[in-house]
Amino acid sequence: MKKIVEVKNLTKFYGDLKALDNFSFDVKKGEIIGFLGPNGSGKTTAINSILGLLKIQEGEIEIFGEKMSPEAYQIKKDIGVVLQNVAVFDYLTVYENIDYFCGLYVKEKDKRKELVEEAIKIVGLEKYKKFFPPKLSGGLLRRLNIACGIAHKPKLLFLDEPTVAVDPQSRNNILESIKKLNEEGTTVIYTTHYMEEVEFLCDRVIIIDNGSIVAEGTVDELKNSLDVGEKVEVEFRELTVKQLEKLKKLKSLVETSVEGSVITLYFKKQKDNMVKLFEFIKEEKLEAISMNLKTPTLNDVFLEITGKELRD
């Protein structure tokens, strides 16, 4: 499949701080790639470096098979960008802002009008067309930021945490629209801290930490790479201390926590975990009042790979 983005050994310093360390990855035509990583891991730096907005110390970047540079206007005309920091003009209305950004790519007036109206609909700003940005709430401003980046239907779209502060209704609409753009041919690089967005959108995920890629794969591949299997929350009508001790000795159980009458069991990845649990319940003649089974989530993967400690 054709490579739309090819990044090789990208290294970026801010003064003495190495923000990207030998960062390499590819994006194929038609993919939606999720960029995940803790705060300060280098996602925005990677995107802005690829876009030629930041000076890099080392590395090669090709987009659409051509070398990317700050002056590569031929490449840039087919790219859309929704930056992490909202970038709109305060003295232009909502409509005028979107029209301005779309106008950088689409000169024909009628076509542009159609595209601007469509973008307004996607982000649900119909009622706010004549508003100036300083009069918009944080979430509405974010939605305007997105509309400005997507209106011209680029071949390659970068979105850096676009849905921060956006309410769930608009978020669904935006995610659906990104998917639709993708189905129409747009390749997407998407950064977020919302795992459910990644599960919904992304074909492939790249997890970044300390300026390097620490994991890469589809959501399922990443989940399968974990050591942990099911997590089971179970409540028994009666359970003696002796029985609890015996339960804790179940093979492949890695951790048990008890909170009130609810016991949470964390199993290693193994096929017969539930069979063993049911055998135990039967043998001990126990009565389970409730049982809740959870398989690992992308959030579990993220925490396992990047660690659970808080970042600065």
Binding region for ligand ATP (CB under 6 A) = 14, 17, 19, 37, 39-45, 84
H or E stretch at 175? helix 168-183
- Find all residues with CB under 8 Å of 180, minimum gap 6, and list them: none
Question: Nearer to ligand ATP by C-beta: 17 or 275?
Answer: 17
- When asked if residue 45 is in the footprint of Mg ion (CB under 5 A), the reply is no
177 binds, among ligand ATP, Mg ion, none (CB under 5 to 8 A by kind): none
Question: Nearer to ligand ATP by C-beta: 41 or 145?
Answer: 41
Rounded to a whole number of angstroms, the minimum distance from the CB of residue 272 to ligand ATP is 40
> Chain-centre distance of CA 230, in angstroms?
24
**Strand 156-160's sheet: what is its strand order?**
79-82, 156-160, 187-191, 32-36, 204-209, 212-217
149 binds, among ligand ATP, Mg ion, none (CB under 5 to 8 A by kind): none
Question: Nearer to ligand ATP by C-beta: 5 or 208?
Answer: 208
Q: What is the DSSP letter of 127?
A: G
Burial of 73 (0-12, 13-18, 19+ CB in 10 A): exposed
Residue at shortest CB range from Mg ion: 44
Rounded to a whole number of angstroms, the minimum distance from the CB of residue 157 to Mg ion is 16
- When asked if residue 44 is in the footprint of Mg ion (CB under 5 A), the reply is yes
Rounded to a whole number of angstroms, the minimum distance from the CB of residue 37 to ligand ATP is 5
- Find all residues with CB under 8 Å of 13, minimum gap 6, and list them: 19, 57
Distance CA 82, CA 272 (A): 46
Tokens of 194: 């919302």
* Residues in region 49-108 near Mg ion by CB under 5 A: 84
Residues facing 81 on adjacent strands: 158
Rounded to a whole number of angstroms, the minimum distance from the CB of residue 146 to ligand ATP is 16
- When asked if residue 187 is in the footprint of Mg ion (CB under 5 A), the reply is no
- When asked if residue 170 is in the footprint of Mg ion (CB under 5 A), the reply is no
Rounded to a whole number of angstroms, the minimum distance from the CB of residue 113 to ligand ATP is 34
Residues that bind Mg ion (CB under 5 A): 43-44, 84
